[in-house]
Structure 1
Amino acid sequence: MTIPHSNAWTTPIHKVINDLKKSHGLEWIRTSMSYHRFTNLREMFMGDLSRKLTKDVISTEFQNETCNCKPGNKKDGQCRFDDRCRNKLAIYCIKCINSGKEYVGATQQNVKERTYQHFTDVMRLLYGKRKSDSYARHFANEFQNFASPSPFRLNGDIQRNSIEISILWQGNPISTVKTFGTRHCSLCNRERLEILKRSRESPEKLINSCNEIYGACRHKPRFHMYHNSPSTDDSQGG
């Protein structure tokens, strides 16, 4: 049973419940206090209004774009991202084919650009000895035998052919971007959820470090370029 907070109670509700337990011999009942605030009527109206205003509204800045992968970058003529390489606001998983380990990441930009940044981080760690994230450390160790002969090939074919990429989740631009930079960031929280899920199911296969669970939000809010898609009623009425 959950009882919302109310100023109408002259006596604290927990004291009333304890007195009733004693008077009726119900000592076996265990009670606990929950500091939960229920949504008030104003917030319900504002939430409903926000949903209606953003219905059929599209953010052109974060729209999915068609695959533009070069033929040489594809695998067996197919996009390595299942034709979702230019999807944005996504949670992705990169699996190392050699070790079977997985890395979970989040990106505000499209997934392909973020993947190429990972490739560059591995190169910097191998050749420049710069510190980087858990992804770069793992794959730098995997590719250390390839560091000398051909850095350009390592930054391309070797890394691409050593991983499998999948998109786990994609956020709604309108609702996701407005949470950026806060502790309620939808993208960060979803990334943490996927990392924690894998850390419990198979921790030995997880590449991510603890810093990527407890770190602050690194996403930057941006202004939307809106486009309103007319409904069928509007088109018929015109």
Structure 2
Amino acid sequence: MPATTMSYVKPSCVGKFIICNSVNTLYMKQKYLISLFALIIFILFGYWAKCQTGTNFFESTSLSKLTPFKYLQRNDVVSIPKPGIILYDCFDTKSIIGNWSNLWMRDKGKVSVDYDLHGINNSRCLLIKSTSTKSWAYSHNKSVEVHEGDIFSFDGFARIQGEKNVSAFIGIAAFDGQNEPIKWNYISEKIDNTEMWTKKNKTFVIPDNIKYIRFRLTGVGIGEFRFDDIFFRKENLSTN
């Protein structure tokens, strides 16, 4: 019978093969973990950016109560501010985060936010266009914690052009201790359709039933609403 030939592999070669295979496997695992980690970071950063800009892609779905997304929410409460400016916006520049929440409108799709160069002294100003006879609101993205006796003030310019019944308001919404609305137009100054720049200002004192306030620009009617040089301040120290 012919002799059977058997292959022989040196132990050192087997060891090298096992080591190389282990190194390749470890490299692939590390590459996979790095890719997974990068994807998670990208998703979390994207969600954080969404929260900061107030963007809501899906109205029926929210991740805000889930870990870790709840820790990435924008803090929209100013806790017991010191006297000074809480909001100032001349609208000369536009940042990613900005000072304002998403525009609310009763007729969806019929009101838009823009800017143009017809502000005070031909500066850049806020322009809100409405093709609806119903109301809209553009709110500061910060709610302010308040105490009884706190004194606040606001002032700003507005210019309204449109149909006969068009008007705008610069003012404050009031909320209770659970941040539920007490009155949307708690304090407001009305601007009628004058087609001229009009300055409005107001100083007011907080009563005991109001725990939070939020500055707002609102309007109603078909037309163009321009705003410029908006100030919102706290005037005194809290006594409580």
TM-score greater than 0.5 by the shorter chain: no
TM-score (norm 1): 0.21
> Which protein is bigger by CA-based radius of gyration?
2
* Structure richer in strand, relative to its length: 2
The normalised TM-score by structure 2 is: 0.21
